[in-house]
Amino acid sequence: MGLLLGPGYYYFCERLSGEPAETHVLTERAERWELPDGAILRVRSGLAFKPLAFDLAPDKSRYRLRLAFQVERADAIPSGASNSYQLSLMQGDLTVLERSLEVAGSGKQARTLQPFEIFLPGAYVLLLEEIGAPALRVSAVEVELINGVEVAKMWLVWCGVVMLGFGMMLALREAIQGALRR
């Protein structure tokens, strides 16, 4: 019971809760893009994928972004090679969320970001930017926006951890008493 209430509940809230709202596949890269409001965005280092526009609102609770990078196999890539990315979520000129990502390996490489909250409704732009020259060849990035992410009630998580610890102590006590009786 403690395992379900403690670590199980926390893992569910942080990684599995919510429902997919939108999914987009990014394939185009360039040094500059025109944003939905008509402004021109120039990328300082490397290239950026085509910006995505989202309509976000506080009533959808918390959001989560899941990115799946499709890395093509190449024999000439040294082991340990990786690409660095900067993800920014902006509302107008204001950056609301900024995260750095590392992608290594080949095939589909998924990254799930920590949940975040939106306090003002409106149009937001997501920008995924390559930092420097990429060592790996990424053919596409699937971006999934998940809304309705649950917030873990920490008092419930800690109750579950205490129950788990208490149950383990009881099992250990029974094992020791059983060994002493023999």
Asked if residue 67 lies in contact with residue 132, where contact means CB atoms within 8 angstroms, the answer is no
Phi and psi torsions of 40, nearest 5°:
-100, 125
Asked if residue 18 lies in contact with residue 64, where contact means CB atoms within 8 angstroms, the answer is yes
Specify the length of the chain in residues. 182
Task: Let me know if 142 is exposed, middle or buried by CB neighbors in 10 A (0-12, 13-18, 19+).
Answer: middle
Residuewise pLDDT in 10s, the chain (182 residues): 776 777 787 777 777 778 888 999 999 988 888 887 888 888 877 789 999 999 999 887 789 999 999 988 766 666 778 889 999 999 988 899 999 999 988 889 999 888 899 999 999 999 999 988 888 888 999 999 999 888 778 887 788 888 888 888 988 988 888 888 87
Domain parsing of the chain, residue ranges: 1-17+150-182, 18-149
Q: Would you state the pLDDT for residue 75?
A: 67
Instruction: Say which CATH topology domain 18-149 has.
Output: Jelly Rolls (2.60.120)
Q: Would you state the pLDDT for residue 50?
A: 92
Residue 141's identity, in one-letter code, is V
